[in-house]
Structure 1
Amino acid sequence: MSTLRSWFSIPRDSHFSLANIPFGIISTAASPTPRVAVAIGDHAVDLDAFTANNGFQALSIIQPHQTVFSQPSLNAFAALGRPMHTVVRKYIQSVFSADTPYPDVLKNNASLQAQVLVPLEHVTSHLPFKIGDYTDFYAGLHHAYNCGVMFRGSSGAIQPNYKYLPVGYHGRASSIVVSGTPIRRPNGQVLLDPSAEKKIPTFSPCRMLDMELELGAFICKANTQGEPVAIGEAPDSLFGVVLMNDWSARDVQAWEYVPLGPFNSKNFGTTISPWVVLADALEPFKTQGLENDTEILPYLQEKDNKSVYDIQLQVDLKTQSGNTATITKTSARHLLWSFPQMIAHHTITGCNLQSGDLLGSGTISGSTTAQSEMGSLLEQSAGGKKTVKIAGGEERRFLEDGDEVTISGVCGGDEGMLVGFGTCVGKIEPALTLSF
């Protein structure tokens, strides 16, 4: 990738280089109405203000649609389709490039710079989309294997269907929150003694609260109900990607899981990062995912073996006492199924995806047995049998009240050219005390 230089000062270690240009929704104290922005360096570019001041004067194709940038979500912009996302992103890149062909738009316009460039520390980020539906997949093969070994032993760790289709379940869209939103520990039914002959649950706060390192992908192109999206066309349905933490109440999950799978154990909170990295920005980092040793059906076969992204992922845990540790480092290349395959499978029945729908990748863990490559505390603690060292003598099996989990992710190793996501942060609040 050739180096992109800008006239605007961008820290060399910024996730939001000129090679990125992620989209999000912001508000400020001076202008509290949420609207569309992009991130560049340590600033947000208010696209509503940019548009109002004729910032898109040299991009005629977007001019009939400029009201999308005053909307409180990215749904309308996303629905314009990937070709439009591409030209808008490239135009913004050209406006900020060192040799911009449009110097009078922003480079030589100090007055407009003051109106549209807002330090990120002064903005409030909001959910980037109005999310109609949310489906969480289980595409992290190593996570699936590690969990399967715990529950079924090594010989039956991977279920017979796992390598034939992207396994998933429908999650709860209403409890998806933007990074920085506190997560309250849920109450629920738990089985304190699974070995007891008579299985009687107890109602209590979750004792086995977990994080899950995932990616989320937003849909831009709707398909008509009854008409599947072909695998070759599925990339056109992909707007962009965020970091995701699908919080899980493991003890609640263990009791409710049979026969229909996750319910209350997953519906209380899912955190996503605020800036959506466009599929175009991630294109240079596409790589081959995990090899599938099973011959999959034709509707899931991709012509391009490079279908997942080499995103370097990290999870940090900070305790209430202030001790911090990096507990996970891995890569998004450890996925068996790609987002286009998830889209093709999701719609093969004729299910109609819509602009703003969110797909979760499932927990991403590395290929080794090292704790530090595992994307959940369930794996790292072997179901609560081991501890995870933090610092200052602290350790964890699962999350405690006051713990703060931060997920970060970035592509590329060249400073000044990083394509990253920023952070996805959530802090655990104590459960409510309920009386009946």
Structure 2
Amino acid sequence: MSALSKYASRATGFYWQRNSLFFAAIVGLSQPILAFEQTDIPMTPAKWLAKGDVSFQHDQAKQPILVVNKGYAELKNTDFSNGTIEFDTKFVGERITGITFRQHDDAADALYFRPSADCAVSEECIQYMPTAHHLFEWDLYGQYQTRAPINTDGWNHIKLVLSGARMNVFVNGAHVPTLAVGTLVGGFPDGSIRLHGPASYAHLSIAPNVVDGLPAMASSDAAKDDPRYVRHWLASKPFVMPSRMDATLQENTGIDPIYSSLPKQTASWKPVALDPGGLVNLTRWYGDAQIGQAITGIWLKTTINADRDQIKHVEIGWTREVWVFVNGKLAFQSKNLYGIKGASKEPGGRLSLTNGSFDLPLQKGANQVVVAIDDNFAGGQQHWGWGVEMRLADTDGIRQSGGAVAKANAPNAF
């Protein structure tokens, strides 16, 4: 099975069957499995699989600690699902690090720390996000980041409570969750645990099924039943986006794509299931799809049927460069390049429906909406998540459906 097929199958099954998965966990139809019996986990080589620069040491009090300078340490023979994970961690300056859990191959859920002197007021101090293809999707899930009482000079106590689709995080003895995640989207109900570097770790304990009353069901997804979100997308295969150096931004940017270069063959297009929030998460489906230093692009398309000629206002969130066409004509284009002055949209270069908006001219009948998007991160890199979401101002006089997508994918659609 190809990597894309693997992620397509997993993502579709996970999101369409989320409720039944976690209901089964509640009533005991599918019990989580732990391959160890003890609660306290020794920081010794026998318990950990080290990948990278990892060592087992002792602190001044002769207590064992796990030091991850680069890479990660994975707890051996572990299939953790629900319960409480606690540990102490000491950061290395302001370098980013964290823990991944429910890990399967190269996909997981992750809690990451950005330690800094202003963590008490910085909304970027800690963040939850999924990972796919070994890539951290920071910029697709900016809603799950917040401030935290982090100590940058000493040890910090971290407590994770995991119950089905939810997680509460408590930092340094907080009585209320420092971060509450209503929908975990990593893709698996259980899996292994990894501690990432650079950081030191001590006093790891795991209490299976101790969830402090945290519900297992995902919080409601406002976009799921909101017909304003543009959905039923078909995606092309990734391609190399022609690029040039932008003299103003001093960055390599994509050259405006030519609409006529859209793939013509039906087999070139595949349906893409949405993440919660109406998000087309291209990282989940394609990774960064990087080819050397070239910028990677993808075409997306869908059909909107209108009962009359009209104009619909559209809110759009995306990373990194985007072009929107309707019936072959360019309706919108813009950039959201993280950290680049003049090309980074609020909030902070992350994906949000506040990134931009435009008017979409619709004709009576079927209208083909096409998006070209690339994964052009600042400095020529391609990572931290790429995707798009679109929401119409209203649905008066229009219709979207899976049937409309099938029509758009017909051989004569062009």
TM-score, structure 1 as length reference = 0.26
- Higher relative contact order, chain-length normalized (CA < 8 Å, sep 6+): 1
TM-score, structure 2 as length reference = 0.27
Identify, as 1 or 2, the structure richer in strand: 2
